[in-house]
Structure 1
Amino acid sequence: MVHSVLYGSKERGSFTLVWLMLFIVLFTRCSSGVSEEVCEECNYIEEAFGIIQTEVLNPTHLNLDSLKADLTSRIDTTTTRDSIHIWLHAALQRIHPHSSLIGPAQFTRIIEDPATPEIWGMKLADGRAYVYVGPCAAIDSTNANLYTDSLQKIVVQLYRSDPISWVLDLRENTGGNMYAMIAGLGPFFGEGPLGFDMGKIKEPWYYKQRDTEGKWEYITLSDSIYEFENKLPLECLVSESTGSAGEALAISLLTYPNMRLTGTPTYGFTSGNEMFFLSDSACLNLTTSIMADYRSKPYPNGLRDDVLGWE
């Protein structure tokens, strides 16, 4: 849930003072004797914080008005947009370590040259099916579909080899596109919520579900709602490197019957992010929710010892 900054009676004066200082800075800079470039950058900070203050998860109740005033006060005629991107990124990291700013050039590079997906599988000598599920860096539909199709092809082929059980290795899955990962492992998932984003509202994520008219809905990255009929025992390997969307995938697998999480407590980036684009195409990647499992149990600090073991 997005936390509002609450001001007690002793803090209202400081709150008013912050707004007064910010008004003076903006009025002075944008009314007389200040270049249009400086005024434009002040307005850009205002644009960014208009989104940040409305959307971001702020667990430490950092004073965002004061933070905005600080950034605005640094602007002069030598300030570049790249510098402001760096300042905003640092500010977002202070608000929540999972939030960030992605500059326009960096965003383009991610789309045009995504990291090669590391996913592979094999049938082990003891009859178990082993699948290495690496992170998915894709933020566009083309590369996300490539990841999904490749992963689903691996698990379907292994299922047809008649294994005795599954081993899904998420130990190096640092995150990325959770929906591409869930769709790739879709045949393991049944109907209904796999977990929830606990933000302004409680929103489920799922592989497939029925709408109010009883019709199937499923992740658009998946071409079907195929589900493995034989629910073989499943072991999911996690580590301190399993983070973000990797943790969401592990949480989703808690819905699978006869499964076990094995390893060490995960990284602790169990929060949901949303992308908001600014006027120059920079992307505010804001943390807006905390992850919870299908039972609505929240995991604010990752998957700890209480869920490591057979479910």
Structure 2
Amino acid sequence: MAMDHRVYTWRFEFKLGGLLAPARRTTRLPGDVVRSSVLSFYERKEVPTLQKIQEELKENISFNGCIESLRKILKRIGFTYGKVDGRKFLMERNDIANARTQFLRERRRHKHPAKKIVYLDETWVNQNYTVGICWTDTASQQATGIQAPTGKGNRLIILHAGTKDGFVENAELVFQAKNDGDYQHQMNSAVFEEWFKNQLLPNIAPNSVIVMDNAPYYSVKIEKPPTSSWRKADIKDWLVNKGAQPSDELLKRELYAMSKTYFTGNKYRIDTIAEEAGHEVVRLPAYHCFYNPIELIWGQVKSYVAQRNTFKLAELKPLLKRP
């Protein structure tokens, strides 16, 4: 008979040299036991180390393996030792999780052969962008490898859109921006809206679904609702414009609470422009850029540029347009 692959752990209690009772037999696989042990540290708000995990497993299941064996087990079952991705905690926030569910539901609803889904996004490439690693001759006394100019050089911002059939024809926007920090500060709502109306909408199929994230320049609101920092008179005027008749006796906090009942939700300029042209906008949930396949294309584009970049701005823009 073949040996059972499961590991059976027996625990006994002894008192004054006498056997009291056998403990419950467990049939969990070793990986499950180790995983539960590691996760229990996080539940107790403790940092698990190899030594701590080893000690706990030794106490609980009489584990007698060495530190290196434990390290191999952890890697085999999917653990890695590295920097914690804080975004994953944010992604499980209730409001973000609800937005993710709503997005996936919308995506399923639009999954129809006759409907085109258009993904848009922007990225950047610096003039001196190049590969980070390459073959170097360590036996040579001279430096080898790609010799890139110092500094980042000028920056090009790229805005484009694509479908399952490739990039949208004539929808490419490439322009030079000042190299003064975050490239997203160079892209503003006026530039985006002009591109959206004049380059994107005329070149996509009728009744398309346009997927985008929630970048500030995509999300200019048609109407801004009152906030607690508004003056009392301004909140009252806003309510009157909504058809309300607030009493002069109401305090500012009462007017502010009243305004919430008249606010019907955020409405974005871009969404309205798309609707008037017969399209629909679907927004990605925060921290979920991986649902936008154009993000993968940007990685390929940058890799192509890095391997062929001559560090001349005049040659960089044509390089971006090559297949």
- Fold shared per TM-score above 0.5: no
Greater strand content: 1
Under a length normalisation based on structure 1, what TM-score does the superposition of the two structures give?
Answer: 0.26
Structure with larger Rg:
2
Greater helix content: 2
Under a length normalisation based on structure 2, what TM-score does the superposition of the two structures give?
Answer: 0.25
